[in-house]
Structure formats: structure tokens, C-alpha cells
Amino acid sequence: MTTLKQLIPQEFCLKCKGCCRFANVRSLWSPCFLLKEIEIFKKNGIPLCLRPKAKKAKLVYSKGCYFCPFFNLDKNYCTVYHLRPFDCRLYPFLLRSRREKVYLAVDKNCPYIEKIFGKQEFKTYLAGLIKFLKQPKIKRLIQQNRQLIGIFPEKTVVNLIHLPLQP
């Protein structure tokens, strides 16, 4: 599994009621899985319910919202946190397709991003993240798993940098 340091402190995350919940069953924001992650889940006996042909989690509906099948809605935590997908590890950053280019973007709706955007903590993390994403093995991983790249609406994200994915 690819190592990626989490930006948002766990204590902050666990108090938030935003992540892992979605407005509709086919949400652009629902987590997607790398082929390698699907194999790891199977190997560990963790049932993985994916939308057909999408490599995206099939969301569950309860208490007025859709949510990730690995999210415990009552206790507000991820039941597979130690194996969470690359897509989830990357969040609140995401890979966004726009005009046939891939960008590293950030979700403007994340309360932690709202708090630190533009500050030194954000800039330092972003510099490290860009360096991480530019590694040849990570670029190949993204090229082989295009489902990681979404078409997110302008009003919800901020493009940070163009990521050329050619080797």
C-alpha cells in the first residue's frame, strides 16, 4: 500500500460530519479503489461491494444520507482505516480532470482546509504532496488507475497544480 501522510489530525476528522457521506448514490465523491487495494481487501476477507464497472464503492443509504460501506455512521469512524484506499488517504486533495489535463485540487468544503488554506502548514504539506505525486511509481499508479481522476465541479474545488502524468 502506498504511504501518504494524513494532513488532517484524526481528532479533527472524527468530529467532522462531512466526509464519507454523500448526497446521492452515484456521487462523484464516493471512494474508488486501486486494483491492488481490491486484491488486498479480498485477501483480508473484507467484503468489497463496488459499483459495476466503476471500481467505486457502492454506497449504503441510512438515516437520510448515502455513506461509504466501511463507515460506521453511529460512531463516526472508518472500519477499515488501516486499509483505507489511496483515494481516501489523499483526501481533502483529489485528482481532477479538466480540459484533458489532470490537476491536483483540494475540496473547498473541508472545514480543516477552510481553516488552514494558504497558511504555512498547508503550503508545507502541499509541497510534500506534490513531490510524492511526481514520483515515477506514483505517476504510474495513477496512469494505471484512471478511476482516481474525477470531473469535480468548479464551485467545490480549487485547482492547485497541473500534474503531467507522462512517464
CB count within 10 Å of CB 167 equals: 7
Q: Look up residue 117 and give its three cell numbers.
A: 488554506
Check residue 137 and give its pLDDT.
93
What is residue 167's predicted lDDT score, i.e. its pLDDT? 46
126 φ, ψ to 5°? -60, -45
- For 84-94, what is each residue's pLDDT tens digit? 899 999 999 99
Give the pLDDT confidence score for residue 89 in this predicted structure: 92
**What pLDDT, on a 0 to 100 scale, did the predictor assign at position 1?**
46
CA distances from residue 56 to 31, 32, 68, 129 in whole angstroms, order as listed: 6, 4, 10, 23
pTM for the full model?
0.88
Give pLDDT tens digits for 128-158.
Answer: 999 999 999 999 999 999 889 988 888 888 8
The pLDDT of residue 127: 95
Look at residues 134, 142, 136, 128 and name the one whose alpha carbon lies nearest to residue 95: 142
- Which parts of the chain register pLDDT below 50? 1, 167
- In angstroms, the CA 89 to CA 30 distance is 13
